[in-house]
Amino acid sequence: EYHVCKRCRFASDAGLIFLWRMHPYVYEKGECIMKKLFALIFVLVMLVSMSACAFADYTPSGEFDIRVFAKAGGIADIVTRIAAQGLQEQYGATAIVNNLTGANGAVAVSDMNAYDPSINELSVVSMALFTMGPLMNPELNIKFEDYAVVASLIRDEFLLLVSKDSGINSWQDLVDYAEKNPVTFASNAPGGGTHVVQTALFGDANITAEALTSGGSNQDILAVMSGDAICTAATITLATSYIESGDLIPLLVFSENECTIADKVIPSVTSFGYNACVPSINFIICRAGVSEEEINGLYNAIVSYRDTDAFKEAAAAANYTPDNTTPAELRDEIDRVAKICEEIFNKY
């Protein structure tokens, strides 16, 4: 079919017949606006095409310096190295991973800040750097707006754990234990995720507890298994193998939803009336000022590698489930958690 409007000379062939059928209803102030509608569609198509071309223009290249806040061998280090491997295998880029530990990423970010904004200068940080970190260490003067999120690597929930030799098998058992014994919990430094969730939990439960801090969750688990601490918090990814072997007993998950590991249903912290729901998220950032084209291009490169057999094999070996949250969604999540952390900070 082919139609021509005598008023505006708008032509509609069979492919645009749906527009022609709208024609009687699109007059505005006595003027047919079919031409305007058609022009708008044309502009939108061109914008989408230009955006697609822009993303395709950037391909990861050169040498990437990726700083990671965790020690070698930890989950954050492993997932960072998997992403770096993808850049090397898929694009031939050189990706160097440097372990600059301390303050949830503040040390890594400080080193990155010594360089001009560049897509090749990156840091992997913990969400705590921008949530509880600024409250605990305002002198660091680290502001979220000074950085751009490139890609999320892993999102996890924390579990409250005790040793199989502790004689504690449930949250109520720990509450009863605390009535007669001092409670020492193993955690990372104040401001870190495992310290925040345990401080909030014991505060809400009116349990007096003291922190035994270390440099990472692996050391925290060893402290619990050796009897130096009665409990600790660790991510599901890290704790699963210990739960499956029976060495650690999970008491609750710091989430609004229960979870199941090794056929054991683990109750949520909210089921006991507490609200210490702060997740663990590790992600890649660069300095603000890097072009959106480069950020989107690197994000797409990292995410696309997750569809390869090489990635799936490495992820399975590490018990790693990647987080595909977009940079924009992650910024919103961090803003939300920052408000929760501020409440915890002001309270405890």
Answer yes or no: is pLDDT of 19 > 50: no
pLDDT band at 39 (very low <50, low <70, confident <90, very high): low
Give the pLDDT confidence of 100-159 residue by residue, as tens digits.
987 778 999 999 999 999 999 999 999 999 999 899 888 888 999 999 999 999 999 999
So what's the pLDDT on residue 229? 98
State the pLDDT at residue 190: 87
Give the model's confidence band at 27: pLDDT under 50 very low, under 70 low, under 90 confident, else very high: very low
Which three-class secondary structure string do you get for the chain? CCEECCCCCCEECHHHHHHHHHHHHCEECCEECHHHHHHHHHHHHHHHHHHHHHHHHCCCCCEEEEEECCCCCCHHHHHHHHHHHHHHHHHCCEEEEEECCCHHHHHHHHHHCCCCCCCCEEEEEEHHHCCCHHHHCHHHCCCHHHEEEEEEEEEECEEEEEECCCCCCCHHHHHHHHHHCCEEEEECCCCCHHHHHHHHHHHHCCCCEEEEECCCHHHHHHHHHHCCCCEEEEEHHHHHHHHHHCCEEEEEECCCCCEEECCEEECEHHHHCCCCCCCEEEEEEEEECECHHHHHHHHHHHHHHCCCHHHHHHHHHCCCCCCCCCHHHHHHHHHHHHHHHHHHHHHC
Q: How confident is the model at residue 5 (pLDDT cuts 50, 70, 90)?
A: very low
State the pLDDT confidence band at 25, using cuts at 50, 70 and 90: very low
pLDDT at 12 over 80: no
* Whole-number pLDDT of residue 35: 52
Tell me the pLDDT tens digit for each residue of 259-270: 999 999 999 999
Confidence at residue 141, expressed as pLDDT on a 0 to 100 scale? 87
Give the pLDDT confidence score for residue 24 in this predicted structure. 44
The predicted structure's pLDDT at residue 82: 97
> What is residue 307's predicted lDDT score, i.e. its pLDDT?
95
Which of 157-161, 240-244, 316-320 is least confident?
316-320
